[in-house]
Amino acid sequence: MSQTIATPPTVRLGTDYIGKPTSRFEGKAKVTGAAKYAAEYNVPDQWYGYVVSSPITKGKITRINSAPVLAIPGVKHIFSHENVPSLALFDRSYKDDVAPGGSPFRPLHEPEIRFNMQPVALVVAETFELARYAASILHIEYEQEAHNTDLETKRSEGFPAPKGKDGFVPPPKPKGDAEGAFSKAPHKHEGEYIHLTQHHNPMEMYATTVEWLGEGKHLKIYDKTQGAMNVQQYICKIFGLSKDEARVISKYTGGAFGSGLRPQYQAFLAVLAALELKHSVRVSLTRQQMFSFGHRPHTLQTVKLATDDHGHLQSLQHKALAETSQFENFTETVVNWSGILYESPNWKFDYELARLDVFSPLDMRAPGAATGSFAIECAMDEMAYKAGVDPLEFRLLNYTETDPTEKKPFSSKRLRDCYHEGAARFGWDQRRPEPRSMRDGDLLVGYGMATGCWDASMQKTAAKASLTTDGHLTVSSASNDIGTGTYTVMTQVAAQTLGLPLENVTSVLGDTTLPLSPVQGGSWTAASVGSAIQATCQALGEKLLKLAQQLDNSPLKGLAFEDVQFADDHIRANEDITKSVPIKDVLAASGEAKVEAESGAQPNPINQLKYSMHSHNAVFVEVKVDEDLGTVHVTRVVNAVAAGRILNPKTARSQVLGGTVWGISMALMEETHIDNTYGRYMNHNLAEYHIPVNADIHTIDVVFVEEEDDIINPLGVKGVGEVGMLGVAAAVANAVYHATGKRVRDLPLTIDKLL
């Protein structure tokens, strides 16, 4: 695997750490087991909770026979709808930070069953094994009702997604006469693109350890989450606690991919048990129970394209129907990406929801875009063939320099360079255009390509910096590190801003006692936390300069902050670097034990109004298909990404590698099968929910295209966590068509669909 690294833009402050490939500072702790996850905090004398899941999909509980289970020595309590309402203040009006519209699910608050594997009871016992056994023999009787979990039956029952959900951008209004232009065009294509439900399946399963501190209601809550502060807000609101009474800690997260954006029900159950029993309690979910909340929704998409004789789009239509639950309106931005990427004088976009008896879907890596990009990018490939134009050239013919949907210029867009650099690295010019025209012995060879686009945003974030007399800097923010390298990037930004060695900087994350930070998601963390760290270290630098100027015969007297630089453990004058003061001397002379600053960063609202801000990528894929067996091997991928300034090419490359692997997985393997007769996911385990292993992944070449953007945020960062996945599934499907001549429009692309 190889990479191309863009040269970072010049930064005024600091030693040059940003833009350098730096290994993770928490790496050793993770590989040696020193890094603790939510279910690994063994607090003194803790008890264990085991969740009982509903075997039915819709209906109500008519009877719970708790007495025999409670009689077992060591079983402490059974929580159910019969005793929970008096313990928690959970009302239907409360929403967590990332909740969709509607009424959130309330665990154990009512006898009604709304989805299969709904938590219906929590058994608490002295040991995990005892809790699990007791839960297995708890007898619950149900009254079943008819349910519907089949999106195919809802094709005519879709309703427009309600406006007002945070993060949901309604489709652009129609432009021109899309249907009329389609009917008159010389070249046209119409196709339906489908993927079933998909589940996140991170390695670390959801767990919450609540330590009862024995002082009133004070709790220390170790939770698996992507947002410690979001969980704290949720817990405080539901149980009427103050922030001091509910400290949430999440130092490490073993994968989440969006499943940890919302507080999951094990957190509610663990806190509930700890408060009622006045005892430390841990609740862990099983792998099967990981399929009981949140998923990428089953979605049906129709794309209609038409071009003139030269290959210019004349009509662009994209429609999607996605599932949601009976109690919330989960929405994704699915169809809009088509209008952002390609120019057409006539377009029409529609996005609808259909209610099913399932738990609410949940954001899953590149939510909406992974779904939408698969459809539009496969359709663009099909349209290119019908128009007689090379798929890469077809995208360049319909390239747009501005965002047509918002009629705004992009803050930056180097997608054209992604096309050219990616194609050159891949060898796209060696592609023979006819399907089934390339072979490697007995294998059919196919080349395919596709494009991705993702929002580049930042959130309001705060940070703190503290410098001690020994020259050691500690920077902190409540943000989580979900495996993306946030600890490392924070350290790099802080070290560069104050000119300190990397080994003299420590980053602290994942604790609600730290400064305000949003959930980690959306590819905004590096931009948000990084900008907050930079601003905070600059504020600390201003304090240091003032202290330095108070020294006798200070060479820095009279200089403004803009006139100095921080580098090599010194504060130096820009015009004459021999005029400098060691930072350690400043603190020693001041008599202060430490110097601290707290500040933050937030997006510029004027720039948000004036510009469209996105990252882009172009993906090129080679597949080899066994003509007799139908097996597909993705043998080469080139993923060229333009994502602004790359703070750490090593961790950024890892993000793109992970996204690329997931795109291959989406294309060839991932689907959650539901038996609609029972409303139950049938392959709710890692034996039958297929994801790639090492043998499935071959050469992946990551190319970072140089891109400067001084509009988007102070660091010029766009984020790479989501965009690296986009376009991959479509490029695989397009390559399979080129290899075999068979077009598959429903994912995953399995052997039976090719034979």
Query: How many beta carbons lie within 10 A of that of residue 132, not counting itself?
Result: 16
What are the b/e assignments for 415-437, b being 16+ CB within 10 Å? bbbbbbbbbebbebeebeeebbe
**Between vectors from CA 581 to CA 580 and to CA 582, what angle results, nearest 5°?**
125
Token code pair at residue 109: 């608050």
How far, in Å, are 426, 695, 738 from residue 429 at the CA level?
9, 28, 14
**Residue type (1 letter), 430:** Q
Residue 48 to residue 130: CA distance in whole angstroms: 9
**Between vectors from CA 96 to CA 95 and to CA 97, what angle results, nearest 5°?**
120
Residue 727 to residue 741: CA distance in whole angstroms: 20
Q: How many CA atoms lie within 13 A of 620 on its CB side?
A: 23
- Catalytic site positions: 722
568: left (phi over 0), alpha (psi -120 to 50) or beta: left
Percentages helix, strand, coil for the chain (3-state, rounded to 5) are 30, 25, 45
Question: Which residues, at least 6 apart from 178, have a Cβ–Cβ distance to it below 8 Å?
Answer: 304, 315, 316, 317, 346, 347, 348
Residue 578 to residue 581: CA distance in whole angstroms: 9
Residue 442 to residue 160: CA distance in whole angstroms: 49
3-state secondary structure labels for all residues of 712-748: CCCCCECCCCCHHHCCHHHHHHHHHHHHHCCCCCEEC
Nearest CA to 212 out of 37, 89, 40, 45 is that of 45
Q: In this structure, are strands 580-582 and 746-747 parallel, antiparallel, or unpaired?
A: unpaired
Q: Concatenate the DSSP letters of all residues of 294-317 into one string.
A: --BPPEEEEEEEEE-TTS-EEEEE
